[in-house]
Amino acid sequence: MGCDRVGWGGEAMRWAKAAGRGERRADLGMRIARATLIGAVGAFAKAVTAVLNRTTVYNSETLLRLVSSRPRGTPLLTVSNHMSTLDDPLMWGFKGFPTMDARLQRWVLAAEDICFKNSLLSYLFRLGKCIPITRGAGIYQPHMNEALQILSRGEWLHSFPEGKVSQERVPIRRLKWGTASLIVRSPVTPIVLPIVHSGFDKVMPEKPFLFWKRPLLPLCNKEVRIIVGDPLHFDIHSLKQTALSVSRKENEKEELRGWPTLHPDGLEEVPQRWLYSTISHKIQCAMERLRTRI
């Protein structure tokens, strides 16, 4: 019987090793597929942004530095306005940016109802480092935890905090609180980098084009401008202390939504609201200052 146990143990070990090899092969296959897709999409973005249109980028060196050589383990959270359905990937297609490098490429929050309509689209956008977000489902929806995991690994995440595409030339709209909640809840506070662009609404307009609701392909010979701002740094500990001092009376007219308490600080919903509103307002102001320079 002892020999049987040894034999069974050896067989189990062989199965475990085989399973491990299978997982490694699957992981390698996924990495190859991701690199191939991101390379192809990156080449498309380069062609449209850097070749077929007239693109000017201001302060690109700050973005390049933070993407390629920020301190190890420090997450980067870029935020921008949203003027077309192709802002991402086109806004990363300017000359000198490593658009086709899957290792350096961003993760991005993407609308579930647009990018994840079926199994094929879901597979491709997932492969392209997109995280599905259900608009209207709140800041504590399950996939926000996936975004937090990206930040906790010190990776780069991009967000469109206005929440939807707008091709009107108007001031930056009030930001959704999901981005601010990620900043607060991230185990390591990310560097926040505001970016504002113009011209992609001309490259990919939402209005009717010939016989179609919108162009089937991006248009050419348009002027695109991208302004990269200065990094924003948030002292989350100090902000939390201030938020805890916010009285319930100041927010008693607000309809509470039953948010979970944030630990270890014990932040209930009222101070959370103040915190997310304050951070969102600072980011919005930074983006608006960039917009007035375009």
Question: Region 188-215: what's the mean pLDDT?
Answer: 88
What secondary structure letter does DSSP report for 118?
A: S
Q: Are 59 and 194 in contact (CB under 8 A)?
A: no
Tell me the mean pLDDT in the region 13-41. Answer: 74
pLDDT value of residue 268: 87
pLDDT for position 19 = 45
pLDDT at 252: 54
- Looking at per-residue pLDDT, the higher value among 42 and 262 belongs to 42
Question: What's the pLDDT tens digit per position in 93-141?
Answer: 999 999 999 999 999 999 999 999 999 999 999 999 999 999 888 999 9
β 156-159/107-111 pair status: parallel
Q: Residue 128 to residues 55, 75, 148: CA-CA distances in angstroms?
A: 24, 19, 18
Which pLDDT tens digit goes with each residue over 248-271?
545 555 667 778 888 767 788 889
Per-residue pLDDT of 88-97, as tens digits, reads: 999 999 999 9
CA distances to 50, 108, 141, 147, 150 from 182, in Å: 32, 13, 12, 8, 10
Q: Tell me, what's the pLDDT at 234? A: 97
pLDDT confidence bin for 209, thresholds 50/70/90: low
Tally the residues of the chain: 294
96 vs 64: CA distance, rounded Å: 9
Q: Are 234 and 213 in contact (CB under 8 A)?
A: no
Statement: residue 212 has pLDDT above 50: yes
pLDDT at position 189 is: 97
Return the beta strands (E) in the chain as ranges. Answer: 54-58, 76-80, 107-111, 130-133, 156-159, 191-198, 223-228
Two tokens, residue 38: 């991101």
d(CA 87, CA 199): 10
- C-beta separation of 247 from 260 below 8 A: no
Cα-Cα-Cα-Cα dihedral sign, residues 100, 105, 111, 113: positive
Cα separation, 93 vs 262, in Å, equals 38
CA–CA–CA angle 173, 134, 98 (5° rounding): 75
Q: How confident is residue 244, by pLDDT bands cut at 50, 70 and 90?
A: confident
